[in-house]
Each structure stands twice: as C-alpha cells, then as structure tokens.
Amino acid sequence: MNDMTKVEPMPALRFEAPPSTSLLAHARHIVAENPVTGLAFGLFALIVIAAVLGPSLVPYDPLASDTNAALQGPSAAHWFGTDQLGRDIFSRVIVATRLDFAIAVCSVALVFAMGGLAGVMAGFYGGWVDKLVGRIADTIMAFPLFVLAMGIVAALGNSVTNIVIATAIINFPLYARVARAEANVRREAGFVQAARLSGNSDWRLLLTQIVPNIMPIMAVQMSLTMGYAILNAAGLSFIGLGVRPPTPEWGIMVAEGASFIVSGEWWIAFFPGLALMTAVFCFNLLGDGVRDLVDPQRRN
Amino acid sequence: MIPAPLLDIKNLTVEFATRRGTVKAVKAIDISVGKGETVAIVGESGSGKSVTSYAVVRILDRAGRVAEGSITFSGMDLVNAPESQMRDLRGREISMIFQNPRAALNPIRKVGKQIEDVLLEHVQATRATAREKAIEALTKVKIARPEERYDAYPFELSGGMCQRVVIALALACQPQLLIADEPTTGLDVTTQKAVMDLIVELTRERGMSTILITHDLGLAAAYCDKVVVMEKGVVVETAPAGEIFRNPQHPYTRKLMQATPRIGMSLADLLPDAAKGPPAQAAAPRPAPVAGAEPLMRVENLVKEYPRPETGSFLAKLMGKAEEPKPAFRAVDGISFTVAKGETLGLVGESGCGKSTTSMMITRLIDPTGGRIIFDGTDIGAIPAKQFAASPHRRRIQMVFQDPTDSLNPRFTAERAIADPIMRMGTISGRDALRARCEELARLVGLPVELIDRFPHQLSGGQKARVGIARAIALEPDLVILDEPTAALDVSVQAVVLNLLEELKGRLGMSYLFVSHDLNVVRLLCDRVIVMKTGAIVEQGTAEEVLGNPQADYTKELLTAIPHPPL
C-alpha cells in the first residue's frame, strides 16, 4: 500500500463546472436580479447607521423639553415637528432606533440559540427529546402570543431585559419547529451517513453537518422575526409595559401622540409609526435577500 | 407521396438566459415523428433531450425560449400557437409521462379521481360516466382489481403501479402523441419490462406515435423504430434502431455503445480505446481469493425486523377489541455469506429485497435484530451502531454511496469532505500534511487537484462520485461497500468509475461488497454474486455460474428482463 504515491492517475473527466465567485460579487448579482432586495439592504443599512451613530447625528437632545416650541408641525427647524413638551420628534425617532433595534437583535439571538438548538436536537434525536420540545412549543402556541408576552413582562418585572425574554419566548415555537423539520429531513441524508462512517460522534454530526445546512432557512426566519420582534417591543411599550417615558421609543411615542391626533397634531404619532413600519417592512423584505445570499447553491 | 409526419421539428434552437449570458441547450436540431412511429431520443445528461420535449409541449421554464426553428404538429405551428390552444392540446393530443411517477400524481387524491379529472377537463366523459370510464382506463393499463384500486391513494401503490396510473392518465384522452421522459428510470428491471411492454402495446393498438427519451441504449433498441442520438444539444445521428446498433456512424454513438455494459466483455472494453491502460494491466487476471483462508467477513444468520405500525384504532383498544399484533416485518430474513480478502461480492436484487438494509447493517449504521457479523475475528454486530464510531474497526469498513450529490455536504469543499475521515480517525495531523494527503487521494481517483477547493454544486456528477470514492478509501479500509455507486451516472462516466474502482481494489488490496440491481455491471465487476429476494438469499455462486447458468427462477426472470441492444 505504500506504492500509492507513484501510481499514474486515471484519465480525468473534464466537465465544465462554474467557478466560484466572491461574496461581494454574489451580493451585487442578487441585488441586480431583484431591486426590492437592494431596497431592503439599503433600508437595513440606514437602520444600522441610525442605531449606531444616532445620538451623535441628531440636531437636538431627545430629552430636552422646550415649552415655547411645543406642538409645532413639521418645519425646517423641526423636520418631524415637536411634541407636547417641545421635544424634537426627529431626534427622538432617530435615537429610539438603537433601543428598538437592540431589543430585536437580542431577542432574536436568544430565541435562535434556544429554539434552534432545541429544534435541531428534537429533529435529530427524535424520541422523548422530540416529544418534550414539541409539547413545550404547543403550550406556548396555546396562548395568544401578545397576551403571553404581556403576562411574562408583567410577571417578571417591567424592564428592557424582560421584554427581550418575553419576545424570545413567544417566538420559540417558530424556531423550534422550523429547525426540527429541517434537521429531521437531513438526519438520514447521504452526507450525514457518510460523516457517521467517517467516525463523527453525534454531536459533531449535529454541529458540522446539520446545523450549517439549515442556516439559510434559519437566517430567513431570523430576518422575518426581527420585524416581528420590533413590533412586539413597540406594542408592549405602547400599552405601558417595558420601556418607560421619557426614554425615546417608537411604541411610547405613538402612544403619547395618539391622544393628540383628534386635535389635529398628527405628526407626533405619525413619524414614530412610520419609522416602525419602515423597519418591519425592511426586515420582511430582507428575508428573501438573506436566503439568496447565504445559500451555497446560489453561489455560481 | 410520403405522408407528412405527425410531429416535425425543424432547425430548433432553444436558449436559456443564465447569469453567464444565454446558453443554447438545443442547437438547430431536426427530428420528425411519423404517425404510429416510436422514436427514441438517446443521450447523456445535458444532451438537451428533455429540453427538446419540453419545447414541443411548451413547458420550458421561464428562462428558456425557442430562439429559432419550427415545431409542427399535424399541420399546426406549436411555437407560435396561443397558450389557450396549447392548454387544450396538452393531454388531449400530446401527453407526457415523467420520470418519477409518484411525483406526477397528487398524493392526497384517489387515483381514480385523478383520472376522472383529466377526462372531465377534456370533455371525454360526463359526471355520470366518469367513474366507469376511469375504471376502464385502469383496466386498460392492466391494473389488477381496478374497482378497488380506483379508491387507492398513490402512496398505497408500488412504483410500477403508480407508473401504470400515470400511463392511464396520459392515454385517457386518446392522444396522438405520447412523450415518455425516462419512464422507467428508478423502476426495477422486471417492472421496467412490464411498463415498457404496456406502453408499446397500448400505443401500437391505437396507432399512436411515441417519443421515448432515455439514456439507455438497450431500452431504445428493444422498443423503438427509430433512434435519435443527441450530444450537447446537437443531433449527431438518426437511424432506424436495427441499423444504428449494427453500424453506428458517429464516434459519439460508438462511444456510447461501447460504454454500455453487455455480455461477453471486460471492464476495460467499456473505455474508449485512447483511454485504456497498458494492455498487460487490463489483461491481468483477478487475483483469486486464497482458498481455505479465513474470510475477511463472515455474516451468519443475519436478521433485521421492523415493527409494524399499529393498526387498531384507539377506541377499539379501549374497548378491549384490539386485533392481534401482527408479527414484525422481516426486511432481512436470516442470511449468511462470507466475503474473502480481495474479493468483490455482488449483492443483487430488486427494490425492497433487503439488500440496502443488509449493507447498512454491515457498515454498522443500523443494528441487526439477530445474527452475527464477524469481521476479522470480531463480532462487530454486537457493538451498538451508536458506539461504532469510536470502534477501531470503524476505519476498516467504509462505503461509497449511491447518490454522489446527496452524499456530499453542500457546505464542505471537496477537500474538506475527503479530509473528514482522516481528521476523525487518521494519524495525519497538521494542515499541510492533510492537504498533501487529500491531493494525493484526488490524484489517485483521477480528480483534477485544482478542483478540490470547490463545493459539490460546482462539480459534475462524475467528479462528485470521485470525491465520494476518495473519501471512502482515505483510510485504506479493508472492506468497501459500494451501494449502486454508478446508478446516478451517465454510461460513459459509469465506465470510467467502474474501471477506477477495479484498479483501486487491486492497488489497495480491498474487498468490495457491490450492491446493485444492474446485472450487467455486476457481471463485469464481481467475482461472486448473491441474489436476494424478499429478505432471503435465493441463489449464490460465482458470477459466471449465477449469471451464465442461473438455477433459481427469480434469477432467470431478472436476467430475461434486461433489454439488450441487438449486437
């Protein structure tokens, strides 16, 4: 068996296979193919910039009140107008991005870790693990999800951390079920069997064979739930749970502005609402683009 | 005057818009199908044979379009016909049968109802007569007890039965042209024979024309009047079936015919002359297994049972009226055989005979219910499959999988796939040493070294098969289970891979367990053959004995069902 090195190779088959391309070129292609994806990526970039640099970009202190300038409509000085305390709504909307975005990212990361892991294990091992995860998911689904989130925040205490936890819990069934289904169909796939033959332990199979292959679908799921998480956080704040005034947050701002709509000061609720809608819209559109970007089958 | 052909394809070019510009899948081809004629379009994957048929019925996907040429069907221009007219034509005048019959049927609708739908859609029956006509259609395709089968769902029928239903659907409206796209690929050889006989009988009876799209020259020769050979989108040869096999004109046709395994040829004969190794090597006899020596593997009375799903309803059980539990299903029913060192043992049988279950038990991916698997003196059947990954015997038994695409992790490069067993169980450590070993293995299996950084979807079928083989031999195992390693490959690629396997065996001193349904391939590669049916061995012996002079009826039936090109 030592003479393996000096053997002559078999005649090679030459078939045209597409060469690989860089991630950037691939991203450019995907955007060119679907302009809506380009729009979503653009909006996403804006949201990230606002979240990271927001406080240093805005023209006014979002907490500073100026009673002389209260309840003014949109103008050159105050693009989005001012609220009942004379605070600049534009500054508040931009500064709020960081908090809302952070809540969404943290809760999605948390539920991805919890739900994804539980689901993958349920799908891979089956048996009692599957039953347990399935019943937990069913139990959560049995409640109206927003009411459940309200209950969790009310019970755990009124804080940003608890909003994150509540949002993660109500999204758990979605992640667990998607991950379970995806892991389950791949459990018997040829490449998993081949990896078993290569002497991989179950844990290694899970982490090197199954998890990387379900990432595309999980990435789409994450993008979709990001929008939902923002909406949920804003919703909780709207009804007075979680974030408390005067902290700038889209949900509270809409809640505060709601009472002024009847008297004609529409801008107080409108602009934070618009920001909220844009963010949710952006994350939903992003889903398709993310799938195209991370799917290796499309990289050719 | 010669009557005008039923279907006349002239100068047809089909283009697909892709990322790298437009690709011509079919280039200026001419095919004509006369009334009552059976025409085979033969070619390997990528030859454009399916695209041609899609163009005829206008079901090309969005990226594809007919760029040039004309398709005339009994005087009608199909390229420019309005969609409404095409919709009426499909099913009523031109029908198609696809490769996977199960995918072509609606899984949640009774098959009888599905036939009714077609009849009603094309006004061949009224609500009152639909049932009767559907049963009549089932009778015509020779489905036993058609009244009962009318109420069956596709999952309750076997693959062959499903294909019969699909044929019934296709022929329900008495079309003039039937296009069958690989109608028997994936079916067993005896089923294939039954289905093809049925298609030919029904179409002759009704004076229909048929286009059979296939990669199997034998099938084309056995059932068709005329053969059209396509290569890379071009028709290279058109001739009557008898003619083309006796006297092939084009080099590609000759290459295809040469690569098709037949009786009375050796493995090396499959390769084009230019690619053959030195004659001395090709002529070298197989090293005979040492007689009397302890075999590498001894399988004794191996059994695998699967529990049957419970049938009684929950209520019946509650009332204490539960049925007697049925005995477990025996997928493998007490088989015994040995594999000698350096031997290739063929394991042959049709789907459901237990050959895959047997190979899974031997590779220790599943646990046997009973019996022993003695490998080099140790009963490895006693080690649970879950713990076998840690056993020192793991590296000595490896496997090459049936589907080269499915068996490679889409997120691993070829190098990472080949390196996986070495990283887990090998003695080589260090990035550079590992890389060097992977390159060495790639060279050994004839995979160009510059390709090992590619992902599976960037490789061709033959290249993926080579990656799978390189992975299996990376640790120089003693026994390699080959589970239909060439079933998903074109014949010319199959020829090269089979030769590669034979050469590697001699060089590395491995034993093979070759699991296959293709008797022609088994004949070429194997020293001994085991024929299995419903979990039991019906016949075993040397390849020449079993395949040349079969004793069991079942083996005879298998052998006669293979379509042979008239050579």
pLDDT at B323: 58
Q: Which of A1, A11, A189 is the closest to B275 by Cβ?
A: A11
Q: In what order do the strands lie in the sheet with B536-542?
A: B397-400, B479-483, B511-516, B344-348, B528-533, B536-542
The Cβ-side half-sphere exposure at A238, using a 13 Å CA radius, reads 18
Buried b (16+ CB within 10 A) or exposed e, A257-275: beebeeeebbbbbbbbbeb
The residue with greater pLDDT, B402 or A26, is B402
Q: Is the pLDDT of residue A179 over 70?
A: yes
Q: Distance from B464 to chain A by nearest Cα, in Å? A: 11
Q: Distance from A138 to chain B by nearest Cα, in Å? A: 22
Q: Distance from B213 to chain A by nearest Cα, in Å? A: 23
Phi, psi of B23 (to 5 degrees): -120, 130
Collect all residues of chain B within an 8 Å Cβ-Cβ radius of residue A209: 409
Q: How far is CA B53 from the centre of its chain?
A: 21
At A295, the pLDDT band (50, 70, 90 cuts) reads low
The structure tokens 């969790």 sit at A152
* Full pLDDT tens readout for chain B, 567 residues: 467 788 999 899 988 887 777 888 888 899 999 888 999 999 888 788 888 988 898 888 777 888 888 999 888 888 888 888 888 888 888 988 887 888 888 888 888 899 888 888 887 778 888 888 888 888 888 887 888 888 888 888 877 788 888 888 888 888 899 999 888 877 788 888 888 888 888 888 888 999 999 888 888 888 888 999 998 889 999 988 888 888 888 898 888 888 888 777 777 777 776 555 444 344 344 555 555 577 899 999 999 888 876 655 566 666 665 556 667 788 888 899 999 988 999 998 887 788 888 998 999 888 999 889 999 888 988 888 888 888 888 889 999 988 888 899 988 999 999 999 998 888 888 889 999 999 999 988 888 888 888 888 888 888 898 899 999 999 889 999 998 888 778 888 888 889 889 988 888 889 999 998 888 888 888 999 999 988 899 999 998 888 888 899 998 888 888 876 655
Buried b (16+ CB within 10 A) or exposed e, A66-92: eeebebbebeeebebbbbebbbbbbbb
CATH of the domain at B506: 3.40.50.300
CB B209 within 8 A of CB B6: yes
HEC string for B69-86 = EEEEECCEECCCCCHHHH
Subunit contact B407:A12, Cβ cutoff 8 A: no
Subunit contact A197:B421, Cβ cutoff 8 A: yes
Angle CA(B468)–CA(B471)–CA(B475) in degrees, nearest 5?
150
Distance from C-alpha of B103 to C-alpha of A283, rounded to nearest angstrom: 35
Residues 6+ apart with CB under 8 A from A73: A81, A265, A267
Q: Is B248 among the domain residues? A: no
Distance from C-alpha of A92 to C-alpha of B211, rounded to nearest angstrom: 70
Q: CA end-to-end span of chain A, whole Å?
A: 39
Residues 6+ apart with CB under 8 A from B195: B160, B163, B164, B167, B183, B184, B187
Considering the entire predicted model, what is its pTM?
A: 0.79
Subunit contact A13:B444, Cβ cutoff 8 A: no
Neighbours of B378 (CB within 10 A): 13
Subunit contact B457:A7, Cβ cutoff 8 A: no
Q: Is B129 among the domain residues? A: no
Q: Is B235 among the domain residues? A: no
Domain count, chain B: 1
Q: Distance from B212 to chain A by nearest Cα, in Å? A: 26
pLDDT at B349: 86
Phi, psi of B324 (to 5 degrees): -60, 130
pLDDT at A300: 43
pLDDT at B139: 86
Q: Distance from A25 to chain B by nearest Cα, in Å? A: 12
At A16, the pLDDT band (50, 70, 90 cuts) reads very low
Distance from C-alpha of B363 to C-alpha of B91, rounded to nearest angstrom: 47
Check: CATH 1.10.3720.10 for A32-58+90-298? yes
pLDDT at A20: 46
Subunit contact A199:B395, Cβ cutoff 8 A: yes
Which tokens go with B33?
């199908």
Neighbours of B98 (CB within 10 A): 16
Q: Is B289 among the domain residues? A: no
Collect all residues of chain A within an 8 Å Cβ-Cβ radius of residue B409: 191, 195, 208-209, 212-213
Residues 6+ apart with CB under 8 A from A114: A168, A172, A175
Angle between helices A190-197 and B461-473 (to 10 degrees): 20
Name the nearest CA neighbour of A116 among A96, A98, A93, A133.
A133
Interface A-B, measured as beta-carbon pairs within 8 A, has a size of 125
pLDDT at B309: 66
Q: Distance from B427 to chain A by nearest Cα, in Å? A: 13
pLDDT at A220: 86
- Secondary structure (DSSP) of B134-192: HHHHHHHTT-SSHHHHTT--GGGS-HHHHHHHHHHHHHTT--SEEEEESTTTTS-HHHH
pLDDT at B275: 53
Do the strands B209-214 and B38-42 form a parallel or antiparallel pair, or are they unpaired? parallel
B500 in contact with chain A, both atoms CB, cutoff 8 A: yes
Angle CA(B416)–CA(B420)–CA(B425) in degrees, nearest 5?
155
Any bridge partners for residue B65, and if so which?
B15
Neighbours of A300 (CB within 10 A): 16
At A140, the pLDDT band (50, 70, 90 cuts) reads very high
Omega cis (within 30) before A18: no
ipTM: 0.76
Q: Is the pLDDT of residue A1 over 60?
A: no
Any idea where the domains of chain A sit in the sequence? 32-58+90-298
Subunit contact A190:B507, Cβ cutoff 8 A: no
Q: Distance from B356 to chain A by nearest Cα, in Å? A: 13
pLDDT at B469: 92
Q: What is the pLDDT of residues A197-234, one digit of tens each?
A: 888 888 888 988 999 888 888 888 898 888 889 888 88
Q: What is the pLDDT of residues A147-158, one digit of tens each?
A: 999 999 999 988
Distance from C-alpha of A238 to C-alpha of A259, rounded to nearest angstrom: 12
Subunit contact A212:B424, Cβ cutoff 8 A: no
Collect all residues of chain A within an 8 Å Cβ-Cβ radius of residue B471: 194, 198
Task: In chain B, count H helices and then E strands.
Answer: 22, 20
Full domain range(s) for residue B425: 297-306+328-561
Subunit contact A17:B420, Cβ cutoff 8 A: no
**Greatest CA separation found in chain A?**
92
Question: Best of A4, A10, A125 to disrupt the B interface by mutation (most B CBs within 10 Å)?
Answer: A10
Residues 6+ apart with CB under 8 A from A130: A122, A123, A180
Residues 432-471 of B with CB under 8 A from A: 440, 443-448, 451, 454-455, 457-460, 462-463, 468, 471
* Minimum CA–CA partner of A32 in chain B: B19
CB B208 within 8 A of CB B200: no
Residues 360-399 of B with CB under 8 A from A: 363, 365, 386, 389-390, 394-395, 397-399
Q: Is B482 among the domain residues? A: yes
Q: Which of A7, A11, A15 is the closest to B463 by Cβ?
A: A15
Residues 6+ apart with CB under 8 A from B424: A198, A199, A200, A204, B389
Distance from C-alpha of A59 to C-alpha of B479, rounded to nearest angstrom: 75
Collect all residues of chain A within an 8 Å Cβ-Cβ radius of residue B509: 1
Subunit contact A197:B398, Cβ cutoff 8 A: yes
Q: In what order do the strands lie in the sheet with B94-97?
A: B94-97, B177-181, B209-214, B38-42, B226-231, B234-240
Q: Which of A4, A13, A196 is the closest to B463 by Cβ?
A: A13
- The stretch A47-72 carries a mean pLDDT of 81
Q: Which of B445, B459, B476 is the closest to A1 by Cβ?
A: B476
Q: Is B39 among the domain residues? A: no
Residue A82 DSSP label? B
Subunit contact A18:B458, Cβ cutoff 8 A: yes
Q: What is the pLDDT of residues B238-289, one digit of tens each?
A: 988 888 888 888 898 888 888 888 777 777 777 776 555 444 344 344 555 5
Q: Distance from A4 to chain B by nearest Cα, in Å? A: 8
Subunit contact B395:A11, Cβ cutoff 8 A: no
- A219, amino acid identity: A
CB B105 within 8 A of CB B111: yes
Question: Best of A13, A16, A124, A200 to disrupt the B interface by mutation (most B CBs within 10 Å)?
Answer: A13
pLDDT at B281: 42
Angle CA(A30)–CA(A34)–CA(A37) in degrees, nearest 5?
80
Q: Is the pLDDT of residue A22 over 70?
A: no
Subunit contact A199:B499, Cβ cutoff 8 A: no
Q: What is the pLDDT of residues A230-261, one digit of tens each?
A: 888 888 888 888 788 788 888 888 888 888 88
Distance from C-alpha of B413 to C-alpha of A299, rounded to nearest angstrom: 13
Name the nearest CA neighbour of B345 among B546, B535, B528.
B528
Distance from C-alpha of B206 to C-alpha of B215, rounded to nearest angstrom: 26
Phi, psi of B74 (to 5 degrees): 35, 60
Q: Is the pLDDT of residue A7 over 50?
A: no
Distance from C-alpha of A182 to C-alpha of A174, rounded to nearest angstrom: 12
Distance from C-alpha of B196 to C-alpha of B202, rounded to nearest angstrom: 10
Any bridge partners for residue B17, and if so which?
B22
Collect all residues of chain A within an 8 Å Cβ-Cβ radius of residue B496: 10-11, 13
pLDDT at B288: 52
Q: How far is CA B114 from the centre of its chain?
A: 27
Collect all residues of chain A within an 8 Å Cβ-Cβ radius of residue B389: 196, 199-201
pLDDT at A127: 87
Q: Is B391 among the domain residues? A: yes
A15 in contact with chain B, both atoms CB, cutoff 8 A: yes
Angle CA(B442)–CA(B444)–CA(B447) in degrees, nearest 5?
40
pLDDT at B291: 53
At A115, the pLDDT band (50, 70, 90 cuts) reads very high
Q: Distance from A174 to chain B by nearest Cα, in Å? A: 25
Collect all residues of chain B within an 8 Å Cβ-Cβ radius of residue A213: 409-411
B147 in contact with chain A, both atoms CB, cutoff 8 A: no
Collect all residues of chain A within an 8 Å Cβ-Cβ radius of residue B446: 9-13
Name the nearest CA neighbour of B194 among B350, B386, B400, B374.
B350
Residues 6+ apart with CB under 8 A from B522: B346, B348, B514, B516, B529, B543, B547
Subunit contact A197:B365, Cβ cutoff 8 A: yes
Angle between helices A160-187 and A89-125 (to 10 degrees): 40
Neighbours of B276 (CB within 10 A): 15
Q: Is B449 among the domain residues? A: yes
A6 in contact with chain B, both atoms CB, cutoff 8 A: no
Collect all residues of chain B within an 8 Å Cβ-Cβ radius of residue A194: 399, 401, 407-408, 417, 420, 468, 471
CB B306 within 8 A of CB B352: no
Collect all residues of chain A within an 8 Å Cβ-Cβ radius of residue B271: 11
Residue B307 DSSP label? P
Q: Which of B20, B409, B444 is the closest to A9 by Cβ?
A: B444
The residue with greater pLDDT, B460 or A116, is A116
- A276, amino acid identity: L
Q: Which of A9, A213, A297 is the closest to B446 by Cβ?
A: A9
- The stretch A48-74 carries a mean pLDDT of 81
The structure tokens 């009673």 sit at A67
